[in-house]
Structure 1
Amino acid sequence: MSADFWAGYISGAAGILIGNPLDVLKVRLQSGAPSAPPSTSQFSSAGSLIRGVTAPILGYGALNALLFVTYNRTSAFLNTNPAGTPTGLWSTWLAGAIGGLATWVVSTPTELVKCRAQLSTSSSWNITKEIVRAEGIRGMYFGGAVTALRDSVGYGFYFWSYELSTRFMMSRFKQSKSSGQEAAKVLLCGGLAGVVTWASVFPLDVVKTRVQTQVSVFRGAESEALLGGSVASAETAPLKRLGAVEIARNAYRAEGAGVFFKGLAVCSVRAFVVNAAQWAVYEWIMRELDPERKVGI
């Protein structure tokens, strides 16, 4: 397989391992699930810090590989500039958006399982089995539309902001040639790209989280509310899950506009750390596997 596939896969898995503890907190803040303060029950054991990590490690490695391969191929196709000149920023955004849209097939089931695992005591594997048993493979793509929209817009800004900050750094520090300075540049630009990305799509991510962590109907006589709802009989009280628009409308009515930014501070810290590390790993692996190629963007 291509160098950008493996660079994307490994960097994606590394990013999940680094950022999962803060992602657990982000999802719990976004979902509105009743819980004890973060210092007590949420992180009472080492296991709680990596809850839901199995699905992302398996899924986001593949997602990141698909993202970077699609982005690189699309960027090359859209680049009509003379050889040796950088791609236009609009083409960079569009290639990122197409790459993000392509990840939908992986990101939707991965996000669904991850979010539900982070709000329960079940393992990712058990949650996956329950969803497939109750709803079939189609159930794994619940919330797919809002996830696809979030990924397309977000990854457009992801690559756009990384390219923009990289060009700025190069113009300001043209004499920077040491490996330490290059590594610092990649870490800073990668971290900034992560923050810009999440800031651009955070309201969509809040809605996505609430859509996917609604009441899950399992086969049997009872249904379980992930968000603290009452337990009811599935036979006597069929459960209707709401769409993204209804979720957004209800959240706004109940909690105001601030609900769409709940968890943004935690997410921004996580985004900077994870994406700084992720871009550093990606650039390093690309340099090792394909030294003749211009790495990154």
Structure 2
Amino acid sequence: MHLADFIAGSVGGAFGVAVGYPLDTVKVRIQTQTKFSGVLQCVRATCRTEGVSGFYKGMAMPLTTVSIGSSVLFGTYRNILHSLRQLRHKAPDSPSAKLDIFLAGLAGGVAQVLVMSPADIVKVRLQCQMESYQGSDPRATFKYRGAVHCLFTIAREEGILGLYKGAGALALRDGPSFATYFLVYNTVCDWLSPGKQGQAEWKVVLFAGGLSGMCGWCVGTPMDVIKARLQLDGVGRRRYRGFVHCVAESVRTEGPAVLFKGLGLNCVRAFPVNMSVFATYELVIRCLQTAS
């Protein structure tokens, strides 16, 4: 087991959440609420009604769980890649085949869903809990008082399986998107570091990390939209009977473009976030290697 990858992935994931959370809140609200016509309108409305703190709603739990999820993601990816390389080449230091990188990324993305799904539904519901949900009574309070209260409320009202609402769409998002993510990162590092063995330069790490995040979201955004809508369904009235009905109804009422709602924002957010994730990941890995 490559334990260093679990540790480095954990630190990198937490840092990435802190960098990208405000734009993630805007993205989720645009994907799930039709009253917002665009990014700027959503940002202005959030600032006006909730202040800056509105952009950080529900961050406490993702900060903890994304750290764990990223640990699972990077640790699973690196260990499966190591195993595939040994099966293919019978040597742990042989170069990795692109197919092996893709498959290891796919496995890592799916593996983290078990950890991420409960935290993700809490995040989405808190992000979309806005003033408009209170109705006309100014004395009314929000349904969820915080991350822990939201978690237990969902479990009590919808059962433990309610915490995994939209998990299928989440797996269909994270599997292919992280397969693309790691494949692009490794490919770009190879292109920009021709003939070099071992660690890439920092400028290459930053650029490859940012670009891989953007490419990953290009693949994952359609399922991200469906995932968010399924997770929010039932808070108020129920609109969707399941995954297929959610896809069909969303496309029927809003057109095929709805599946790419928030794509531009995802890409804008992905570059600095994943630049930070990979830079932190590589820094921790190199520090641990030096210490050992």
TM-score by length of 2: 0.86
Counterpart position of 2:65: 59
Distance 1:163 1:43 in 2: 39
- Measure how far apart 1:242 and its partner are: 2.3
- Measure how far apart 1:292 and its partner are: 8.3
Counterpart position of 2:215: 196
Q: Which runs of 5+ in 2 are unaligned?
A: 131-143
Does 2:42 match 1:15?
no
Letter in 2 for 1:49: F
CA contact (8 A) 2:233 2:239 kept: no
Instruction: Output one character per residue of 1:60-97: Cα deviation in whole Å (capped at 9) or x when no partner.
Output: 00000011111111001111235533100001000110
Distance 2:44 2:277 in 1: 30
Counterpart position of 1:139: 162
Matches within 5 A, 1:232-243: 239=238, 241-243=240-242
- SS of the equivalent of 1:291 reads helix
Instruction: Output one character per residue of 1:161-201: Cα deviation in whole Å (capped at 9) or x when no partner.
Output: 111111011128x59x9xxx922111100000100100012
Does 2:44 match 1:40?
yes
Instruction: Output one character per residue of 1:106-130: Cα deviation in whole Å (capped at 9) or x when no partner.
Output: 1211211111110005422221121
CA contact (8 A) 2:240 2:246 kept: no
- Measure how far apart 1:102 and its partner are: 0.8
CA contact (8 A) 1:35 1:42 kept: no
Distance 2:161 2:275 in 1: 35
CA contact (8 A) 2:29 2:128 kept: yes
Distance 2:43 2:243 in 1: 31
Higher mean displacement: 181-190 or 243-252:
181-190
- SS of the equivalent of 2:116 reads helix
Letter in 1 for 2:53: G
Counterpart position of 2:274: 275
CA contact (8 A) 1:9 1:65 kept: yes
Distance 2:148 2:121 in 1: 12
- SS of the equivalent of 1:290 reads helix
Matches within 5 A, 1:198-237: 198-216=217-235, 225=236
- Measure how far apart 1:285 and its partner are: 0.4
Counterpart position of 1:185: 204
Counterpart position of 1:286: 285
Distance 1:144 1:38 in 2: 26
- SS of the equivalent of 1:52 reads coil
Instruction: Output one character per residue of 1:39-77: Cα deviation in whole Å (capped at 9) or x when no partner.
Output: 432133121121121121011000000111111110011
Letter in 2 for 1:3: A
CA contact (8 A) 2:154 2:163 kept: yes
TM-score by length of 1: 0.84
Counterpart position of 1:152: 175
- Measure how far apart 1:34 and its partner are: 2.4
Instruction: Output one character per residue of 1:202-233: Cα deviation in whole Å (capped at 9) or x when no partner.
Output: 111111111111123xxxxxxxx2xxx5xxxx
Q: Which runs of 5+ in 1 are unaligned?
A: 217-224, 230-238
Which of 118, 124, 133 aligns to 1:109? It is 118
Does 2:109 match 1:100?
yes
Question: Aligned pairs, how many?
Answer: 268
Letter in 1 for 2:31: Q
Question: CA distance change for structure 1 residues 20 and 164 in 2, over 3 Å: closer, same or farther?
Answer: same
Distance 2:273 2:79 in 1: 24
Instruction: Output one character per residue of 1:233-264: Cα deviation in whole Å (capped at 9) or x when no partner.
Output: xxxxxx57421111110111111111111111
Distance 1:69 1:35 in 2: 38
CA contact (8 A) 1:97 1:155 kept: yes
Higher mean displacement: 120-129 or 46-55:
120-129
Distance 1:265 1:113 in 2: 24
Letter in 2 for 1:26: K
